[in-house]
Structure 1
């Protein structure tokens, strides 16, 4: 079972509905708890990680306008947003500004369903030939929501969510989230949970800042940190790298074409979201279909659940595996085969080596920032290599 701790998880999506774990049998279940928990709400939260009616009423008017209003009307309706676009591109026409505003709101609204995207990568299992299949289509997802609308989150909710996931006996916790700023309470909670649960694996995304340095919580010791590659075997241009990066997995790159993204389950196919809107006959934004039941996305957020899916496959063939063995196998079976470094990355590695050799008092770093030095440029940008699902599963059978 994989706990997805994230934003909106539409667990009734047809490609996810049959793979959702129910928790109503636990003696300490929360009021109304059946399919995970929403820690983003006030108080103790609520039992539904999906879009609420109140949230729908907040985003639906903006969503509707992107399909109903003309370019001129969008500029007039959203004067402040239009002004920002005009400052960045003063030569843009009214139509270009209006279309940019439409894409801005569509992107914001589709990305509210980030947790649905992540869940699809792990364990989508379509009931028919028109859907998609995730990395581990027989795995169960435990939906846990910590993000409110507009990415609102507090560390207390995340700390609670991690404790809740561990208490529900999950095999893997997927954290496709992070910050460049360490959080001591979160670090302590994760280390405490891992110590108490030696079979539990926590997988986290390395971050999308294109910088040397892994985001938290991926940088916490014993958490498996995952960077992203594109379909050509290069490091995805946004993916963080450097000390503390464990392995990489496909995370997509849609900067050149949507076809370079990771195909997964979207959340905007809800009939209530389209109420009163003439449904388009074309795909828009990152969607593959007119309603957005499927999207093509990029980010280390989608490399991490690919690895979480592989861990679920490993546990599926050998449920006695502990965390140490799983991580060892993943790292031993990963390789640089098919991966390519650019000349720019080679130069960056040389610069890093020079800076490291001239660093003063490296021993004064905080303990949680002490990682083994990268042994090569490949190690610096790809960790121990690209995850190999087949080899990892064979190694534990």
Structure 2
């Protein structure tokens, strides 16, 4: 039971720390330290400091490169303990900073051979967003001309949809438009073939409402929207539109929105000052198109109703790569083809896919997703005609804004790994404290309690709490420390009673005021008459006795008393008095209870 409670406290403490300090979950990886010496100090002082560091740590700092001479930047191997020691040493006064030498890495880049041609993915800043999510667990309904099983959708997740044009379950594309749109959202990615998709771990739902000519009715579209909402779609993409405000369509959109579905639609390709329907409806995210330079695409609608802009491409004879490249079908032959297209139809699925990324990290309400997409967009100044709405779509900023203040299980385990908690060497090599010594203290406290077994209520929470707090404390909490956050709260919470003085003073040496009988004596005096806290006081006395006894043998280093015979005698004498005090208190408490 005690192990379970300690484990529970450990996990709770970690999550409490993570929740209190959101940045803690994303601390970097490092195994060396940067020493940036001030330029105004004499060379002799700097060299003396380098020599002192080498003597103190056994590691000689070195210039980072031949260009580091002018900047006085040195690096050295070291862990967090070395970093803390240097930051508290006189060397810190000679430096601009002493900080971790973080390791940065390239963002994930898929191995699809034509990914380099997808300028639009770089335009929306997708690669850093992929480090957080790929859209898994989210279903995106593509209400379009259907989706054909082209090779670069082979590994994409699909669910059954429906063909509302021909009233059949299989929604096969006979135009190419819907397959192209689906590819932008979730093309099979990192499969060594073709191109990539934005939310490529999301699931697609093909709903065919447009025929081979690219046209369809509002009734079919409305029914498809309701079908998507009733079959667990999270996001709907509508790369279609027209000029009529239809009641049946407006009601279907309201129905889906009320069921928590995010609806995204193309603003239209008429270069007119208003978004078309259904993008114009207030529950729909209306998307205008930009070209590879970030300017409004020549064909894109703008103005009233436009919420955000995204890459739609602009094909031109002098810019063959200006379109949006995805795998689709040739409508004449039905064969697979990689084809660049342009249009707000190509812009809309970018926003739908990023909405899926935002949804996948825990944002459920469609209005909240819309707000995140808008707030995270890159604002374009001097946009009097509202070409861009809230601005250019930014996938990384949207995902980070969605994650702000949240700590996911992935964050937790990544933090555990980066800070060494998942490495056994961390626990046995002094990463937090010396584990065998702490175990000896806890076992010692229970051994002393066993000697007084006739007077103690065995396995009471109060007694066990006192034994642990007095001997080892919740020592694992001392490892919950990031160099840029205050260490004191973790250090104090993770200390035993005898270590409190040294913890407050940030010293590795025991303070004679707390590493003595003073606190146990005060606890006995205060709580001996209390029905349950008296056992906590007795347990604390026994725990302190064990802690002082083990410390006298393992490491007697103390403030003012040194680490020799005087310190050992002091610790052993106080340990003996604490045990005697616990014995007397236990007998008195037992007699009170019997009476």
Q: What TM bracket, shorter-length normalisation?
A: 0.5 to 0.7
SS of residue matched to 1:293: strand
Q: Please, which of 343, 349, 357 is the counterpart of residue 299 of structure 1?
A: 343
User: Does the 8 A contact of 1:4 with 1:119 survive in 2?
Assistant: yes
When the two chains are superposed, the root-mean-square deviation of aligned CA atoms in Å is 1.9
1:37 aligned to 2:80? no
User: Does the 8 A contact of 1:248 with 1:387 survive in 2?
Assistant: yes
CA distance 1:335–1:378, shift in 2 (3 Å): farther
Q: Deviations over 1:216-236 (max 9, x none)?
A: 000001100000000001000
Q: Please, which of 191, 199, 219 is the counterpart of residue 156 of structure 1?
A: 219
Output the CA distance in 1 between the equivalents of 2:337 and 2:145.
17
Q: Please, which of 211, 217, 230 is the counterpart of residue 167 of structure 1?
A: 230
Say which one has the larger Rg: 2
CA distance 1:227–1:152, shift in 2 (3 Å): closer
SS of residue matched to 1:150: coil
CA distance 1:139–1:325, shift in 2 (3 Å): same
1:232 aligned to 2:298? no
Output the CA distance in 2 between the equivalents of 1:327 and 1:126.
26
Tell me by how many angstroms 1:13 deviates: 1.5
1:393 aligned to 2:399? yes
1:14 aligned to 2:14? no
CA distance 1:14–1:126, shift in 2 (3 Å): farther
The equivalences for 1:369-384 within 5 A come to: 377-378=383-384, 380-384=386-390
User: Does the 8 A contact of 2:183 with 2:197 survive in 1?
Assistant: yes
Output the CA distance in 1 between the equivalents of 2:248 and 2:364.
28
Output the CA distance in 2 between the equivalents of 1:332 and 1:39.
36
**Larger relative CO (CA 8 A, sep 6+): 1 or 2?**
1
Tell me by how many angstroms 1:128 deviates: 3.1
Q: Please, which of 171, 192, 203 is the counterpart of residue 255 of structure 2?
A: 192
1:267 aligned to 2:273? no
SS of residue matched to 1:248: strand
User: Does the 8 A contact of 2:157 with 2:201 survive in 1?
Assistant: no
Tell me by how many angstroms 1:379 deviates: 6.0
1:329 aligned to 2:467? no
In structure 2, list runs of 5 or more residues that go unmatched.
1-138, 404-595
Output the CA distance in 1 between the equivalents of 2:264 and 2:195.
23
User: Does the 8 A contact of 1:147 with 1:153 survive in 2?
Assistant: yes
The equivalences for 1:1-397 within 5 A come to: 1-10=139-148, 12-22=149-159, 35-41=160-166, 45-51=167-173, 112-126=175-189, 128-195=191-258, 197=259, 199-256=260-317, 257-268=319-330, 273=333, 292-318=336-362, 320-336=363-379, 377-378=383-384, 380-397=386-403
User: Does the 8 A contact of 1:14 with 1:127 survive in 2?
Assistant: no
Output the CA distance in 1 between the equivalents of 2:200 and 2:324.
16
User: Equivalent residue for 1:353?
Assistant: none
User: Does the 8 A contact of 2:240 with 2:345 survive in 1?
Assistant: yes
CA distance 1:269–1:206, shift in 2 (3 Å): closer
Output the CA distance in 2 between the equivalents of 1:164 and 1:191.
13
Output the CA distance in 1 between the equivalents of 2:325 and 2:233.
25
Name the TM-score, length of structure 2 as normaliser: 0.43
Tell me by how many angstroms 1:193 deviates: 2.5
Higher helix share: 2
Tell me by how many angstroms 1:50 deviates: 1.4
CA distance 1:127–1:13, shift in 2 (3 Å): farther
Tell me by how many angstroms 1:151 deviates: 2.5
SS of residue matched to 1:260: coil
SS of residue matched to 2:378: coil
CA distance 1:297–1:234, shift in 2 (3 Å): same
Tell me by how many angstroms 1:153 deviates: 1.5
Aligned length: 264
